[in-house]
Structures are given as structure tokens and as C-alpha cells.
Chain A
Amino acid sequence: MRRILKDETMSARLHAGLGAIAFAAAFLAFGTPGFSQGENTGSSEAVEGHHAPERQSWSFYGPFGKYDQAQLQRGFKVYKDVCSNCHSINDIAFRNLADPGGPGFSEAQVKALAETYKVKDGPNDAGEMYERPGRPSDHIPPPFPNKQAAIAALGAAPPDMSVLAKARAISRGFPYFITDAFVQYQEAGPDYIYALLTGYTKDDDPNWNAIFPGHHIAMPKPLADGQVEYTDGTPQTLPQYAKDISAFLMWAAEPKLEERKEIGFRVFIFLIVFATLLYFVKKRIWAGLHDEAAHAHP
């Protein structure tokens, strides 16, 4: 945990430094810096002048980022107890919950979990569709059979959550969209979801949200303190739920993140060593060429 915090501070510093340079360049180029020209620019109501969600500290941030298994398990519980009443997560099969780099449920747990669901299958030999208990290979069944059913029940179709954490972003404005590449900021999605879930700040209006464009969101405040029971002693607070579900949704959207970053690091070591060797070979092959030509030239 300490390492992550340190990374955060360093990246924040780097961010600020690069940001300042880029900002100065923007100022020179345009006179008026194109700062935070987001979708929310027009809204004057945004809390305390902050348009963009704050950056959170995530265990999966950075080149050595990994998911926190316990957090993903808690996040799945939030999904199962709350979100799944309205939101599908069609790309996730029960078996994925036991995949490496995921929530790390055991095969037996996944099997038991799948069996608690009813899955429609068929047609059977008599030509009829039938229901059977779920298997690990089944995808998690959606709450509504189709979009129309969801609209009929809720007034609007809630988005599928499979890649939601990659489908939401925040406009970063001129300097940051460049510096983000250097500090590997790829967590705009979970930052947005966290800010959204903790952004229901008007007690008299459950559909008012600080972060949602236009501030009126069809989904009323979905989470509250104490709503989901945690058995591992983690605080049962709204910010904690929001954090855990955001992390879970990031995993759902990017289940190969750990594998990707691990392989990436090895690829980097290989390429840097290879480039270094090539550099010296090149130097050796080209050495003395200019002298030789000089001798031949006079």
C-alpha cells in the first residue's frame, strides 16, 4: 500500500511538472489555454468548482499494478446484491470469477454460485426450452430478458456493465491529455464511476448527481452506508462500496490487465537490453569510418 501511495505522489509531481510546461506552451500558442474544455464546462453548479472527478488511488494503477483480490470479491458482492437488479454484465461468465488475475474465487465457490441461478436452455429433444441450474461456463444471466423489458420496468435501459469502466471518461483538457501518457493514467473510468456513485449530494433529490453531465441522472442513488454486508471487517460505507464496485468493474472491463502489465515489463527489459546491444554494435561497425574516408580524401 505504501508503494502505491508513493507512486501516486511521484506521478502527481511529474504530472504537475509536465503540466506546467505544456500549460506554458498552450498559453503561448493560444493566448487562452484550452483547460478543462469538458462536457461539463457549461454547468456552473458543479461542486466546489471541480468539474473533473478526483483521481483515486487504485491498486491496479501503474506498470506493476495488480487487482486487490479481496476488493474484487467485495465489488462482486456489491454488483450481485445491488447493481445486478438492473444492470447486466453479459461478457462475464461465472468461470471468469475463478480466472487468474481476477477476484480469485475457487472453482467450488464458482460452481455453487452458478447453481443458484436459473438459466434458460434448449431446445430439448421435445423441442421445448427449459430452465436448468447455472454452470460455471454460463454467462451471468441479465436481470431483464431484453432491452424493452428493462425500459418497461425502469423507464430507461441501464447500460450493460461489462466494459463500462472503459466506456466512461472525463475530458482531460490540453496539458493533461499529453502528460497522462507519461504517467500511465488509464483509470479515468473507475475514477468517474467512483465520483458518480459518491456524487449524489442533494438529499432532497435522489436523481441529482454532481458529476453526471447535466446533473440529472435516471438512476436514483443506488448505494448507501450499511447497505451491503461485508464479512471481512471492511467498513460498510458508501465510499468503500463505490471504491470496490469501481475496481470490480475495471476488472470486468479489463480482465487481462495483470497479465498485460507483467508481460509488458518483460518485453520492456528485453527491448531495452536489445536496443543497448544494437547501439554498441552500431557504434563498433561505424567506428573509424570518417577517419578512413579522410585518409582517402586529401
Chain B
Amino acid sequence: MSGHSTYIPKSDLARWFESRLPIIGLIHSSFIVFPNPRNLNYWWTFGGILAFMLMSQIVTGVVLVMHYTPETTLAFDSVEHIMRDVNYGWLLRYAHANGASMFFIAVYIHMFRGFYYGSYKAPREVLWLLGVVIYLLMMATGFMGYVLPWGQMSFWGATVITSLFSAIPVVGNSITTWLWGGYSVDNATLNRFFSLHYLLPFMILGVVILHIWALHVAGPGNPVGVEKKSPKDTLAFHPYFTVKDGFALVCFLIFYAWFVFYIPNFLGDADNYIEANPLQTPVHIVPEWYYLPFYAILRSIPSKLGGVIAMFGAIVLFAFLPWLDRSPVRSGNYRPVFKIFFWIFVAVTLALGYIGSQPPEGNMVLYGQLLTAYYFIFFLVILPLIGLFETPLPLPASIAESVLSPVKPPAAPAAATSSAEH
């Protein structure tokens, strides 16, 4: 697929360099002439958007660290110092805090796209597993980052989540103490979370490189799920996909800017503008929005250990998707039954997210339990069964055929000129 490089250095210097480190040739074959399926739709632009968000989070984060103080009595004030006294500090902080949310919005779209179009199926299982690893690292990074401002939700969120480990039989309490670096969430905890919050994004970057490497071995999937067979099925990465990804990225930035400049605190919790107070528990402890579906699953199971297992299980299930979904057809477009259950699943995760944000009272508990049940039944029962019993729709013979009006009579090539732009 990626093949050997077709890059021809134009100058003596470039030739000299290329024969010693062929990195320009690598970039050329990966991002210039790389053959992408020509039928990729806009759901495929979120990979590029995520790469941008990772870099933007790293850049804003590195600058924020220059002004932040990871110490329990100073952390909260140092964030306000950034907001007030650092030049454009408010912009850096709001861009970083909302950037985390944008990162998760993009990654959820990216994951559901992969789910719907069967992007995890052979030969892309490792690509998918690397994605699951990135997602887990993102969850850890986001969680630790939320602790750093040392507000009430930072402190109590950290207390609730780290306490989950105490549910592990026998060694649970020892593990929690070890995580905290003491007998409660305190300065030692803040310091290690700060250290890890700085480390993990670079680990994400490393796994992202592996993710892109794996992507370039098989090439991206595509909306019809038929592998590329001839050069007619593909277009060069540049300029076709650079301009398409670029357009999508700028549209995404408009959405991002709306949050940063106009509603910067919309996705945050007001309680996090109150400095952490270990003696005063907030009325409702709510994690950041991107964990809410899993938080709802955690609270749906009456036993603590059971809840923790269900919560982590709900995330780990994604790693088993390539083997739970037995259908030979990749794309949801050609799977009439899967399509219905898939969209129910999307609605269920959104509803679980809403339930996670609400106090666990009255009907909310029951709804949470029913939806949690669907979540697991979908993965473990419905999905494998659909693969066995579903009759898929007929697939197009090739990517090119799916893009070029398939019902066109072969005797009228002149009519092709009138076909609308895709």
C-alpha cells in the first residue's frame, strides 16, 4: 500500500540528506501521494481534527505550566493569576479547558464513525486496538487535568474516582493509598497528577504515531467498506484530502471558538470556582461530561465492586469489537438490522450521559439500570447475533462504482458529464 517512496529529491542537499535519513520521502509517501479511497465522507475528517487538537492541547498546556503552581494552597490562586495577570492567560486557559472537551467530542465522533462503518474489522484490528489505548490514555489525562485547578469538583471528583480502586478485594485500600501518596487526596496526589498529566499526552502522541502507521499499512476504510482494488478507487492525499480535511478542521474551529470566546464556562461546573475544601462535600459530585455515560453505569450497579467492574467493562468492551461483530460486511450502510441497533446504542449512550449528570434519585436510577442493561446486551448479545442472522444488502463491486452513479446505462458515456459533484 504505502510501498517504496516515489519521492525524488530536487536539490543536491536534499539528495544528500535523503540518502542519510529518508524522512522527507516518508512524509511524501504518507501525506502527499498516499492513495486514499476517493469516497471518504466528512466523518473521516475527524482523524485530522484530532491530530490538530492533540497538538493544540500540548502547546497551550506547555505554556500554562509556565504559570501554574502544583501545590494545594497555591494551585487555585495560580489559575486565577493566569486568568488575570498573564498576557492572554484567559485565552490559553479557556482554549485548553474547552480544548479537552472538543478533543472528546471529536474522538467520540471518530469512534462512532469507526463503529458504524466497521473500521475495526480485518485487517484493521490493531489499528482499532491502538485507538482504544489512545482513548484510555485520554480519559486518564482528562481526569488528572481536571484535578489541577484544585476546585471543589477537582478535589471531590478525584476523591470519588480514586476511591473506586478501594473496591478491589484485599489489596484495594493499599492501592488507593498508593495512588494518593497518603491517606487522602492531598498535595502528594496533586503533584503526581500534575506530573502524569504532563507525561500522558506525549504517550498519546507516541501511540498516535503507531495508530497512523497501522492506518497506512491497510489504508483507511471507507463508507462502502469495499477494499480499494485499482488506482481508480483512490485519490492522492494531497491536494484532495489536505483541502477537504482543512475545510473540515476550520469548520470545527468555528465550533470550538464559540465555546472559548462566548461560553467558556458552559461545559464546566460552577463548583470548580470554589477552592477545594476537604471538609465540605458538594451537594452533587459530577465528573466532566465526557465520563458521564460511564458514571451512570457505575451508579446503576448496587454493589461498589460490581459498579467498578461494569464501568471499566463498558470501556474495555470496545477493544473486543473486532471479535464480537461477526458480520463479513463492514459498512453499516449495507447492514439494515445493525443500522437500527447501532442508532439505538448511540441514543442509549447519550441518555446514559444525561442520567450520569443527574442526582441518582427516583426514576433516574431505574432508567440508568435499563439503559446499562441495553449497553451490555448490545455488545454481548445483539451484535454477535446480528452478524449471524442479518442479510446484508448487495455491495458495489468497487469504490469507484459506488461513487460514479451506479445505475447509469453503459451505452451513454456523454451523460457522465452531467453527474453532480459528490
Q: Are A275 and B251 in contact (CB under 8 A)?
A: yes
Return chain B residues, CB-CB under 8 Å to A289. Answer: 38, 235, 240, 422
Q: Decide if B203 is an interface residue (CB 8 Å cutoff).
A: no
CA distance A268 to B419 in the complex (A): 35
CA distance A298 to B401 in the complex (A): 11
Return chain A residues, CB-CB under 8 Å to B226. Answer: none
Q: Are B347 and A264 in contact (CB under 8 A)?
A: no
Closest to B80 in A: A91
Q: Are A290 and B403 in contact (CB under 8 A)?
A: yes
A4-12, A159-167, A223-231, A237-245 - the one binding chain B:
A159-167
Chain B, residues 383-422, CB within 8 Å of chain A (1/0): the string is 0000000000000000011011000101001001101011
With A181-B263, A275-B250 as known contacts, state yes or no: A297 contacts B232, CB within 8 Å.
Answer: yes
Chain A, residues 281-294, CB within 8 Å of chain B (1/0): the string is 11101110111011
Interface residues in B81-97 by Cβ distance below 8 A to A read 83-84, 90-91, 94
Closest 7 pairs (CB-CB, A-B) = A264-B261, A169-B270, A167-B273, A294-B416, A278-B247, A275-B250, A166-B273
Pick the contact of B421 from A32, A37, A290 — CB < 8 Å? A290
Closest to A261 in B: B261
Q: Decide if A267 is an interface residue (CB 8 Å cutoff).
A: yes
Closest to A189 in B: B270
Q: Are A167 and B271 in contact (CB under 8 A)?
A: yes
CA distance A268 to B232 in the complex (A): 39
Q: Decide if B363 is an interface residue (CB 8 Å cutoff).
A: yes
CA distance A279 to B257 in the complex (A): 19
B58-66, B156-164, B189-197, B351-359 - the one binding chain A:
B351-359
Q: Are A293 and B403 in contact (CB under 8 A)?
A: yes
With A169-B270, A186-B263, A282-B243 as known contacts, state yes or no: A264 contacts B404, CB within 8 Å.
Answer: no
With A256-B90, A260-B261, A271-B253 as known contacts, state yes or no: A291 contacts B416, CB within 8 Å.
Answer: yes
Interface residues in B224-272 by Cβ distance below 8 A to A read 232, 235, 239-240, 243-244, 246-247, 250-251, 253-254, 257, 259-266, 270-271
Interface residues in B1-60 by Cβ distance below 8 A to A read 38
Q: Are A294 and B235 in contact (CB under 8 A)?
A: no
Pick the contact of A188 from B84, B91, B270 — CB < 8 Å? B270
Whole-angstrom distance from the CB of B20 to the nearest CB of chain A? 35
Q: Decide if B367 is an interface residue (CB 8 Å cutoff).
A: yes
Whole-angstrom distance from the CB of B375 to the nearest CB of chain A? 15
Q: Are B243 and A162 in contact (CB under 8 A)?
A: no
Closest to A192 in B: B270
Q: Decide if A255 is an interface residue (CB 8 Å cutoff).
A: yes
Q: Are B240 and A39 in contact (CB under 8 A)?
A: no
Closest to A173 in B: B358
CA distance A283 to B240 in the complex (A): 10
Q: Decide if B340 is an interface residue (CB 8 Å cutoff).
A: no
Q: Decide if A295 is an interface residue (CB 8 Å cutoff).
A: yes
Return chain A residues, CB-CB under 8 Å to B377. Answer: none
Q: Decide if A1 is an interface residue (CB 8 Å cutoff).
A: no
Interface residues of A, dominant DSSP: helix
Q: Decide if B274 is an interface residue (CB 8 Å cutoff).
A: yes
Q: Decide if B283 is an interface residue (CB 8 Å cutoff).
A: yes
Interface residues in A175-223 by Cβ distance below 8 A to B read 180-181, 184-186, 188-189, 213
Return chain B residues, CB-CB under 8 Å to A166. Answer: 265, 270, 273
Return chain B residues, CB-CB under 8 Å to A164. Answer: 273
CA distance A164 to B271 in the complex (A): 10
CA distance A80 to B287 in the complex (A): 37
Whole-angstrom distance from the CB of A214 to the nearest CB of chain B? 10
Return chain B residues, CB-CB under 8 Å to A180. Answer: 263, 266
With A163-B80, A294-B404, A297-B400 as known contacts, state yes or no: A271 contacts B260, CB within 8 Å.
Answer: no
Interface residues in B322-381 by Cβ distance below 8 A to A read 347, 351, 354, 358-359, 363-364, 367
Q: Are B270 and A167 in contact (CB under 8 A)?
A: yes
Closest to A99 in B: B84
Return chain A residues, CB-CB under 8 Å to B239. Answer: 285
Give B residues with C-beta under 8 Å from A: 38, 77, 80, 83-84, 90-91, 94, 232, 235, 239-240, 243-244, 246-247, 250-251, 253-254, 257, 259-266, 270-271, 273-274, 283-284, 347, 351, 354, 358-359, 363-364, 367, 400-401, 403-404, 408, 410, 413, 416-417, 419, 421-422
CA distance A282 to B271 in the complex (A): 45
Return chain B residues, CB-CB under 8 Å to A297. Answer: 232, 400-401, 404
Pick the contact of B250 from A253, A274, A293 — CB < 8 Å? A274
Pick the contact of A290 from B359, B410, B419 — CB < 8 Å? B419
Q: Are B266 and A181 in contact (CB under 8 A)?
A: yes
A-B contact pairs, 15 of them (CB 8 A): A91-B77, A166-B273, A181-B266, A185-B263, A186-B266, A213-B283, A268-B261, A271-B257, A279-B247, A290-B419, A290-B421, A294-B404, A294-B408, A297-B232, A297-B401
Whole-angstrom distance from the CB of A257 to the nearest CB of chain B? 9
Known: A167-B271, A167-B274, A281-B243. 19 other contacts (CB 8 A): A29-B347, A34-B354, A96-B84, A168-B270, A180-B263, A186-B265, A253-B273, A267-B257, A268-B261, A275-B247, A283-B421, A289-B38, A290-B404, A290-B416, A291-B419, A294-B404, A297-B400, A298-B410, A298-B413
Q: Are B262 and A261 in contact (CB under 8 A)?
A: yes
Q: Are B261 and A30 in contact (CB under 8 A)?
A: no
Whole-angstrom distance from the CB of A274 to the nearest CB of chain B? 5
Return chain A residues, CB-CB under 8 Å to B243. Answer: 278, 281-282, 285
Q: Are A264 and B270 in contact (CB under 8 A)?
A: no
Q: Decide if A117 is an interface residue (CB 8 Å cutoff).
A: no
Q: Decide if A272 is an interface residue (CB 8 Å cutoff).
A: yes
Closest to A266 in B: B261
CA distance A166 to B265 in the complex (A): 8
Q: Are A63 and B250 in contact (CB under 8 A)?
A: no
Return chain B residues, CB-CB under 8 Å to A279. Answer: 247
Whole-angstrom distance from the CB of B240 to the nearest CB of chain A? 6
Q: Are A278 and B422 in contact (CB under 8 A)?
A: no
Pick the contact of B91 from A91, A263, A278 — CB < 8 Å? A263
Q: Are B421 and A286 in contact (CB under 8 A)?
A: yes
Return chain A residues, CB-CB under 8 Å to B347. Answer: 29
With A275-B250, A291-B419 as known contacts, state yes or no: A63 contacts B413, CB within 8 Å.
Answer: no
Interface residues in A54-101 by Cβ distance below 8 A to B read 63, 91, 96
